[in-house]
Structure 1
Amino acid sequence: MKNIAVFASGSGSNFQAIIDEVERGELSARIALLVCDKQEAKAIERAKMHNIEVFGFDPKAYGSKEEFEQEIKEELQKRNVHFIVLAGYMRLIGPTLLRAYEGSIVNIHPSLLPSFPGKDAIGQALLAGVKVTGVTIHYVDEGMDTGQIIAQEAVSIDQYETKETLTKKIQQVEHYLYSKTLKDLLSK
């Protein structure tokens, strides 16, 4: 069983889906740490409810990204973390973590990459008027949502779709697709 760390910045709905899979025994992993850069994030509450350790930090308290990533790396190594799962973590991963965990960091994104990378992918898709968007799980590299794609699933956009309704549809796909993909990756 591999020790994993989940990085999140917000509500943590994908984090919760991963917790649920682990607790049901459907994902053979141990969530050793939540890494969070927002002290008010709901993901922290979720971690505490499930007795998962939290490393919370304020990036502005450090002189550079390298400094806070070095501290994150030390926290990960203390817990023997083998794999990093980004779940709504709103920062680019820098060279310090990329070198230490090369090929062992994955991210989930609410679009069919390479379409609509970056922030507000759901809003971008609606604004573009496309009929289909989706979910992508990919390895993390130095770019923004540019890593090798592992899995994708399409989500249709209805004629009168709102950002709220499309977000719900995408989250439903995210929760099961991320779990399925993590099962495959962590069993190797």
Structure 2
Amino acid sequence: MKNIAIFASGSGTNFQAIVDTVKAGKLSAVVKLLVCDRPGAYSIERAIKECIPTFVFSAKEYANKEAYETEILQELKKLEVDYIVLAGYMRLIGPTLLKSYEGRTINIHPSLLPSFPGKDAIGQALKANVKESGVTIHFVDEGMDTGPIIAQQSVLLSEEETIESLQAKIHEIEHELYPRILQEIFKK
């Protein structure tokens, strides 16, 4: 059983999918903490409903990334967290966390990396008029969505694809794929 901290910045649909999979006994993990960089994000409400502790912060209230990551690291160590699981966390992880969690920080991204890294991957895919997009799960390194790829799953785009319809397809894949791949990693 692995202790995990989930980092999220928004509504927390992947956070919820992971929590639900843990509760169903299909993911051998204990969600010890939600880390959220946006006070007021819906992921915080989800964590509270699930009785999961939260660490909520605003980056602008700190002198720099090292300052808030040092505080996060103290929380992770206190809770004996084994893995950091990024689920819609919209900040690059810095050296403070990467050094302590090297090879144990995992991210999910809504494109087939290396295509469309960074923000608005779904919008980028639509603008590029690609026929296929998908989801990538990868280990985190110091770059933006550049770490070693663990798994990918593709989805075909229709002629009349919209941001909303593609987002729904991507979420459907994410909510099944991420917990399954996490379970494979945690069993090693």
TM-score normalised by the shorter chain: which range applies? Answer: over 0.9
Amino acid at match of 2:149: I
For 2:2 and 2:145, locate their aligned partners in 1 and report how far apart those are by CA, in whole Å.
25
Give the secondary-structure state (helix, strand or coil) at the position aligned to 1:183. helix
Using structure 1 for the length normalisation, give the TM-score: 0.99
Correspondence for 2:69: 69
For 1:184 and 1:82, locate their aligned partners in 2 and report how far apart those are by CA, in whole Å.
15
Percent identity over the alignment?
A: 62
Corresponding position: 1:4 with 2:8: no
> CA shift at 1:40, angstroms?
1.0
Correspondence for 1:106: 106
Superposition pairs of residues 93-172 of structure 1, within 5 angstroms: 93-172=93-172
For 1:139 and 1:73, locate their aligned partners in 2 and report how far apart those are by CA, in whole Å.
18
> CA shift at 1:180, angstroms?
0.8
Unaligned regions of 5+ residues in structure 1, if any? Answer: none
For 1:179 and 1:30, locate their aligned partners in 2 and report how far apart those are by CA, in whole Å.
13
Q: Tell me the matched-pair count.
A: 188
Corresponding position: 1:40 with 2:20: no
Give the secondary-structure state (helix, strand or coil) at the position aligned to 2:73. helix
Correspondence for 2:83: 83
For 1:33 and 1:187, locate their aligned partners in 2 and report how far apart those are by CA, in whole Å.
21
- RMSD, aligned CA: 0.4
Deviations 1:5-27 (A, max 9, x none): 00000000000000000011110
Amino acid at match of 2:163: K
Correspondence for 1:179: 179
After superposing on structure 2, the runs of 4+ consecutive aligned residues of structure 1 that deviate more than 6 Å are none
> CA shift at 1:171, angstroms?
0.3
> CA shift at 1:75, angstroms?
0.4
For 2:30 and 2:93, locate their aligned partners in 1 and report how far apart those are by CA, in whole Å.
22
Give the secondary-structure state (helix, strand or coil) at the position aligned to 2:164. helix
Deviations 1:75-95 (A, max 9, x none): 000000000100000000000
> CA shift at 1:58, angstroms?
1.0
Amino acid at match of 2:136: T
Give the secondary-structure state (helix, strand or coil) at the position aligned to 1:3. strand
Corresponding position: 1:49 with 2:49: yes
